[in-house]
Amino acid sequence: MKELMQRLREASIQAVLAAGDVDDLEQLRVKYLGKKGELTGILRQMGKLSAEERPAMGQLANQLRGDIEAAIEARREELSRALLEKKLELETVDVTLPGETGRLGHKHPMYNVLDQIKDIFIGMGFEIVDGPEVELADYNFTKLNIDEGHPSREWTDTFYFTPDSRVLLRTQTSPMQIHAMETRPLPIRIIAPGRVYRKDEVDATHSPMFHQIEGMVIDKGVTMADLKATLNLVVEKIYGKGTVTRFRPHHFPFTEPSCELDIQCHKCGGKGCPTCKGEGWIEVLGAGMVHPKVLAGCGIDPDVYSGWAFGMGLERLAMGEYKITDLRLIFENDERFLRQF
């Protein structure tokens, strides 16, 4: 038995030293020291020994087990160090090489146009104000002279939060007119950009979420001529001298008289195309003189003060500025599109 253990020692140590990886080491451990391993097989023969021989053989067996385990652990550490050195060699970074320049982002084209519009109006003495996107129906409709029963108050047109139709996602930035008139001293010159929400079908010029810029002036002696002159100036500053516009009569409950402003289609030059739906014009904003009933409802005497207001679609202005043919591109966040700007 002593000779068997000596041969096992020599074979096992030699095999351990030749192991190429930790998986091989584990297989060798099982082969020599496992429950069905070679050392266990030798120990099962202890019963054939005399009582005097068993203690000495048991001591040799324990020493053999310890030698094999020590050899396995030493080889495991050696393999781990070699693996680490190889990994470090492969992953070595040459600090003398120039680094990769990170690609910086930039403003979205729509917000470039918004900043441009803000600069234009600030230059004309306007203030920029902000307001809630979750609004009360009183401010979104009633105080703007939009009575119960108006089509825009239907559930098919508006995103309501409550069954009684009192709380909603604002459908326009026009509630900022009321907030401003109730809280700010006269005269008032403001613009209020922000997101608005309507149950519109998505197409080349419509989206259920879009951006408007509300503008309002309240002062003594304000006329429709002031409104037209201001809007024409804004359009020319955005699109350049000679930009063709047209004002069309329209109806809004909160303005009287009311109008809509169109710009000639930037895609077809007025000939008609899918972008303008064949009309040659793109609607940019609605406007008009603030209704006397709206002024009076905010505690302003319509016999002393007058004013005008407008609400323009920011996406449509961006489409005209950057010659974008489909509004959906603005919201899809496709980097191939955005990198152009």
133-161 pLDDT per residue, tens: 999 999 999 999 998 888 888 998 899 99
Q: What percent of the chain has pLDDT over 90?
A: 39
Where are the alpha helices (H) located in 19-146, listed in sequence order? 22-33, 38-43, 53-90, 109-123, 137-140
Helix (H) or strand (E) holding 168: strand 167-169
Q: Say if CB 52 and CB 23 are below 8 A apart.
A: no
Which position has the higher pLDDT, 54 or 255? 255
The pLDDT score that the predictor gives to residue 253 is: 92
Average pLDDT for residues 250-255, to the nearest whole number? 92
Banded model confidence at residue 246, pLDDT cuts 50, 70, 90: very high
User: What phi and psi, each to the nearest 5 degrees, are found at residue 313?
Assistant: -85, 115
220, 189 contact by CB (below 8 A)? no
Q: Return left, alpha or beta for 300; rule: phi > 0 is left, psi -120 to 50 is alpha, else beta.
A: beta
- For each of the domains in the chain, give its residue range(s) and CATH number, in order of start: 2-90 (no CATH), 110-338 (3.30.930.10)
Compute the average pLDDT of residues 18-29. 82
- pLDDT, position 135: 95
Residue 263: the pLDDT is 85
Residue 205 has pLDDT above 80, yes or no: no
Q: What is the pLDDT of residue 194?
A: 94
Average pLDDT over residues 242-268: 89
Q: What percent of the chain has pLDDT over 70?
A: 96
Is the pLDDT at 48 greater than 90, yes or no?
no
- The segment with the largest mean pLDDT, out of 74-78, 100-104, 203-207, 215-219, is 215-219
Average pLDDT, the chain: 87
For 76-133, the pLDDT digits (tens) are 888 888 888 888 788 777 778 787 888 888 888 888 989 999 999 999 999 999 999 9
Beta strands of the chain (E only): which ranges? Answer: 127-128, 134-136, 167-169, 188-197, 209-219, 245-252, 255-264, 281-290, 306-313
245 versus 290: which is more confidently predicted? Answer: 290
Task: State residue 235's pLDDT score.
Answer: 86
| Res 61 pLDDT > 80 | no
More confident residue, 29 or 237: 237
pTM across the whole model: 0.65
- For the record, the structure tokens of 340 come out as 């152009």
The token pair at 307 is: 């004013």
Per-residue pLDDT at 49 exceeds 70:
no
